Amino acid sequence: MTDSTTPIGPVSLVTGASSGIGEAIARRLQTLGHTVYGAARRIDRLEALAADGIEPIAMDVTDEASLQAGVETILSRSGRFDVLVNNAGYGSYGAIEDVDPAEARRQFDVNVFGAMRLTQLVLPHMREQRSGTIVNISSMGGRIHSPMAGWYHGTKFAMEALSDALRMEVAQFGIDVVVIQPGGIATEWADIAADHLDETSGSGPYARLSAAMSATLRKSHDRDSSPDVVAKAVARAVSTDRPRTRYAIGLGAKPLITARRVLPDRAFDALVSRAMGLPRGSGPGR
């Protein structure tokens, strides 16, 4: 652990750092010379990062006391915040009709409200030093849509809008806000989303659509991009004086975001249905 209040290099906090994208980001920032704090709900899942010199922080983004304690710990050890990477999140799939309201709220709590509350706690310190970069890990799902993922898309669309507003608010203080929009990334995320989908909509009126989407999610690993492509984009964003506002990276991100921008709604619906091998009748209506 670092006991000195004088950090070596920029000080970065990465949430959801126990695996996948978050772990890759934490390791990449460390190679840039950052003092990196990796946060997760279960600190035992951070042992591999800690062994390599990344500071582990127990943090539940849905718990106010946990967020405040984590921020205070970092300030007591390193005295500042230079980079905040809001990466903690998950995909809970299911037909909008089927998803329990409590689960829908939990997904917004983790993916949106937790990230923004942590941002609120970090911002006063970035404003005081008149510098900093906030990186929000969104998704290509913050710009496009697919069936059985409506509540998840809702969280990412919300993060996109909040990031845009925040960028304009904090620019006067020398703070940058960057959105990362990953496409298909080879992590456990897809299997978790598919498990939620099977449990929520695997039977009932949406069963046929659920089965097709679940199969698509589970077979994506063979072609998905490495988490390191996301980590490299974050590294580029925090290493330049004028980062781009958005980085679309990973399998399918750029072409699908472009297609959504230029195609009419029903044409995009049909494109998604065909690409995912969804049952006939699941795409555009009359």
- CA–CA gap between residue 183 and residue 194 (Å, rounded): 16
Catalytic residue among 12, 138, 139, 163: 138
- CA–CA gap between residue 187 and residue 76 (Å, rounded): 33
Angle, helices 207-218 vs 189-201, to 10°: value is: 170
CA dihedral 197, 198, 201, 204 (to 10 degrees): 170
Q: Residues in the chain, how many?
A: 286
Q: Strand 35-40 relative to strand 55-58: parallel, antiparallel, unpaired?
A: parallel
What is the number of alpha carbons within 13 Å of residue 197 lying toward its C-beta? 28
Catalytic residue among 156, 210, 214, 220: 156
Whether 232 sits among the annotated catalytic residues: the reply is no
Residue showing tokens 């921020």: 71
Whether 131 sits among the annotated catalytic residues: the reply is no
Selection from 230, 177, 160 nearest residue 20 by Cα: 230
Whether 138 sits among the annotated catalytic residues: the reply is yes
Residue showing tokens 């809702």: 154
What is the number of alpha carbons within 13 Å of residue 95 lying toward its C-beta? 15
- Sign, CA dihedral 179-36-113-19, equals positive
- CA–CA gap between residue 229 and residue 26 (Å, rounded): 13
- Sign, CA dihedral 10-248-183-112, equals positive
Catalytic residue among 37, 93, 152, 247: 152
Q: Which residues are catalytic?
A: 138, 152, 156
